[in-house]
Structure 1
Amino acid sequence: MTRRELDAAGITDPVLRAAYAHCRRLNARHGRTYFLATRLLTAARRPAVHALYGFARWADDIVDDVERDATPRQRAAALRRLEEQLAAGLRRGTGTEPVVRALAHTAAAYDIDPRHFTDFMASMRSDLVVTRYRTYADLEVYMHGSAAVIGLQLLPVLGTVVPRAEAAPHAAALGVAFQLTNFLRDVGEDLDRGRVYLPEDLLSAHGVDRELLRWSRDTARSDRRIRSALRAAADLAEGVYRKAAPGLEMLQPASRPCVRTAYILYHDILRMIEADGHAVLHRRAVVPRRRRAVVALGGAARVGAVRLRSRVLRPGLPRHTAAASKGLR
């Protein structure tokens, strides 16, 4: 599958192909929902999505490198090196680190604004020192770099049927909605890393503070105040999903099944959290495999319909022309 994707994208250089393949493996290993949705894209677009994910994952792993006992100073130094490699890679269109090499190629191929990567790295740096967010406005500043810009990076790859500037706020909102969902799902794991992403003003409005969260995590006991605060956080995420939803129809038809599938599956995580009694401090909410399969099959059916419609609209294309245009459908 990797070879077919790289061939479809016109990536022929062996070193560059290896860099993209590395990013694809990172996506497959760590981004189950993301990777599943990406498979619904045309083969020509997938390598770029893998590159964007692979770089983001690499940076995130540096920040959260606690399993190998890396000190904060070591993590900061590693992130600094990656940022330097990124800046050089974006200037030259290549890089020494595989994730940077693939990202630089993708950024040049799709003319992605380099500020989106600068903003992303700023949020990664903040994760090394910031462990709390007083208000949602404070959290929004962080999420712009850590989530909104991911949607903006992807937009040129996915393509739009409206001016890109019109679709951009919805793409940014979708990135934020996904991240808010992750914050809810991973609140216990983040607490173990010393971070609380849920805004303190939201928590305190329901009588919750870090100490109560720590008590619940350590004792595996629930508390109505925590459940109430988590419901409020889920309601906040729901509002962002509603803001993102109109953007789905602004994407090119070939990209809609992929993004719609990711939208549904991430949104389902919120429903699973509620169904599990908001017990995220004690266990991770997971969308059942059968549900994931049903949603993916629905996405595959929509992909087939888009491709069939494309053939019907262009019945007179010679065989070689149709083959060359596969990446545009």
Structure 2
Amino acid sequence: MAILMLRVVSAVHISASLGFLEAIREGGRLSDNSRPSGRVQTPSYNERLQRKRRRWSSYSLYADSKYACVGFEPQENDNFPILSSFVANTAGEVAISSEQKVYDVVLKQAALVKKQLRSNTALDVKPDMVIPGTTTLLNEAYDRCGEVCAEYAKTFYLGTLLMTPERRRAIWAIYVWCRRTDELVDGPNASHITPSAMDRWEARLEDLFAGRPYDMFDAALSHTVSKFPVDIQPFKDMIEGMRMDLKKSRYNNFDELYLYCYYVAGTVGLMSVPVMGIAPESKATTESVYNAALALGIANQLTNILRDVGEDARRGRIYLPQDELAQAGLSDEDVFNGKVTDGWRSFMKNQIKRARMFFQEAEKGVTELSQASRWPVWASLLLYRQILDEIEANDYNNFMKRAYVSKAKKIAALPIAYGRSLIRPSSRNQSL
């Protein structure tokens, strides 16, 4: 199976008004005057919509991952060992704690979906329980989420139009929340964001799940989580990933980097699986579907990291395993100097090989999704994986050259993705 969501990883602007960030910094709710309703037309927001599109990455999930997925044995790669906090290793208490943490989250998410599947084989959403008079406002909130998605993720947005209206709107709401969360640490106001501000954002999340939204975007997500079997933990874990960005700019090994990738990417998959839906005829285990989510989430995040080495270095950040850099005879200074050498090429080949391994594992699960969700997921997977090809085509110069997929290649990938979306789910036994 696979699920897809998009998450911004640079300074993009998603708040509907300046009051949003101000409220988070000051620890209060938005005032009635600052709450957006319907279509927001503040000059600040409109100016942001006109700015150059920033980079984004797509996150999906898949099944039977051999690497760093709960319930599967890790395998060794020819060039480097597969180590992660999510598989048993001898790295000590921190690694064991991380493994157990993710294991518990995955099992809890799978249990929620299993419970729903037992009563509704098609994973139908819960009936609406909306206070009279609020239906129009709720529809406006969802429409506003759709506008943000359409503005910053056009290809994915078009794919969501193939889904049922309920699933489509729910994915829009999740997308916007993830974007707003990322904006706190990667946006133009990031320098004003403190750990206490992140604590307030998490408290606001808890209010949202309790049915006490602060603004229209919160209202859309609050309604979504009341209708689908979505748990709060992946949302909290994403916030934890943002906290890491506030205090951490180096990763000693891939074990540490993997945990970061789970927080900022794998979580999106866990949020979205219940909404994307598992095909009624699928025989894959629910756990394998969520394990798959982790695999593709990591694949996409690693691809994003490899693409943006130069941009991150100019911000003083290096999202590369320090021990593997040292093994290749490289240092932080080499990354900051941005010179492509034979040592750098060798290092990058191994990093790309690792990312492709995740994509290969991810492919195995796409067909487990509901049919209406498969095409946009396949399209995003195929297109995003091509970024690795472009890095190679640039002779591994990801310091000064930004790898991107041309419009022609994007168009060419669409019919291929559609063809793969027609493949029926597996016939593996499903244990509920």
Query: Aligning the two structures, in what range does the TM-score lie when normalised by the shorter sequence?
Result: 0.7 to 0.9
8 Å CA contact 2:184–2:193 kept in 1: the answer is no
C-alpha deviation, 1:39, in angstroms: 4.1
What CA RMSD, in Å, does the superposition of the two structures yield over aligned residues?
A: 2.6
C-alpha deviation, 1:60, in angstroms: 0.9
- Compute the TM-score of the two structures, normalised by the length of structure 1: 0.80
Residue 35 (1) aligns with residue 157 (2): yes
Give 2:334's aligned residue: 212
User: What is the distance in 1 between the residues matched to 2:413 and 2:160?
Assistant: 13
User: What is the distance in 2 between the residues matched to 1:119 and 1:40?
Assistant: 29
1:191 aligned to which of 290, 313, 320:
313
2:143 aligned to which of 16, 21, 39:
21
8 Å CA contact 2:394–2:403 kept in 1: the answer is yes
- Secondary structure of 1:255's counterpart equals helix
Query: Given the superposition, is the C-alpha separation of residues 99 and 176 from structure 1 closer, same or farther in structure 2, using an over 3 Å criterion?
Result: farther
User: What is the distance in 2 between the residues matched to 1:120 and 1:173?
Assistant: 16
The one-letter code of the counterpart of 2:207 is A
Q: Equivalent pairs: percent with the same residue?
A: 32
Out of 73-82 and 171-180, give the one that drifted further.
73-82
How many correspondences in the alignment?
Answer: 291
Bigger RCO of structures 1 and 2 (CA < 8 A, at least 6 apart): 2
User: What is the distance in 2 between the residues matched to 1:179 and 1:98?
Assistant: 29
C-alpha deviation, 1:19, in angstroms: 2.6
Give 1:203's aligned residue: 325
Structure number with higher helix proportion: 1
Query: Given the superposition, is the C-alpha separation of residues 76 and 87 from structure 1 closer, same or farther in structure 2, using an over 3 Å criterion?
Result: same
User: What is the distance in 2 between the residues matched to 1:26 and 1:110?
Assistant: 22
C-alpha deviation, 1:121, in angstroms: 1.0
- Secondary structure of 2:210's counterpart equals helix
Residue 64 (1) aligns with residue 186 (2): yes
- Compute the TM-score of the two structures, normalised by the length of structure 2: 0.62
Give 1:317's aligned residue: none
Query: Given the superposition, is the C-alpha separation of residues 98 and 182 from structure 1 closer, same or farther in structure 2, using an over 3 Å criterion?
Result: farther
Residue 138 (1) aligns with residue 138 (2): no
C-alpha deviation, 1:289, in angstroms: 0.5
8 Å CA contact 1:191–1:214 kept in 2: the answer is yes
8 Å CA contact 1:51–1:99 kept in 2: the answer is yes
Give 1:290's aligned residue: 408
C-alpha deviation, 1:113, in angstroms: 1.4
Give 1:85's aligned residue: 204
User: What is the distance in 2 between the residues matched to 1:75 and 1:147?
Assistant: 22
- Secondary structure of 1:181's counterpart equals helix
- Secondary structure of 1:128's counterpart equals helix
Poorly superposed stretches of 4+, deviation over 6 Å: 9-12
User: What is the distance in 2 between the residues matched to 1:183 and 1:100?
Assistant: 29
- Secondary structure of 1:63's counterpart equals helix
8 Å CA contact 1:41–1:258 kept in 2: the answer is no
User: What is the distance in 2 between the residues matched to 1:114 and 1:14?
Assistant: 26
The one-letter code of the counterpart of 1:104 is S
Query: Given the superposition, is the C-alpha separation of residues 236 and 49 from structure 1 closer, same or farther in structure 2, using an over 3 Å criterion?
Result: same
Query: Given the superposition, is the C-alpha separation of residues 200 and 36 from structure 1 closer, same or farther in structure 2, using an over 3 Å criterion?
Result: farther
C-alpha deviation, 1:21, in angstroms: 2.8
Q: For 1:96-107, list aligned pairs within 5 A.
A: 96-107=214-225
2:294 aligned to which of 136, 157, 172:
172
8 Å CA contact 1:40–1:300 kept in 2: the answer is no
Out of 200-209 and 94-103, give the one that drifted further.
94-103
User: What is the distance in 2 between the residues matched to 1:210 and 1:43?
Assistant: 48
Query: Given the superposition, is the C-alpha separation of residues 302 and 233 from structure 1 closer, same or farther in structure 2, using an over 3 Å criterion?
Result: closer
Query: Given the superposition, is the C-alpha separation of residues 53 and 222 from structure 1 closer, same or farther in structure 2, using an over 3 Å criterion?
Result: same
C-alpha deviation, 1:302, in angstroms: 6.8
Give 1:253's aligned residue: 371
C-alpha deviation, 1:248, in angstroms: 0.8
Query: Given the superposition, is the C-alpha separation of residues 32 and 205 from structure 1 closer, same or farther in structure 2, using an over 3 Å criterion?
Result: farther
- Secondary structure of 1:265's counterpart equals helix
The one-letter code of the counterpart of 1:185 is R
Give 1:151's aligned residue: 269
Query: Given the superposition, is the C-alpha separation of residues 130 and 33 from structure 1 closer, same or farther in structure 2, using an over 3 Å criterion?
Result: farther
List alignment gaps of at least 5 residues for structure 2: 1-126, 425-432
User: What is the distance in 1 between the residues matched to 2:275 and 2:200?
Assistant: 27
Residue 228 (1) aligns with residue 350 (2): no
C-alpha deviation, 1:140, in angstroms: 1.4
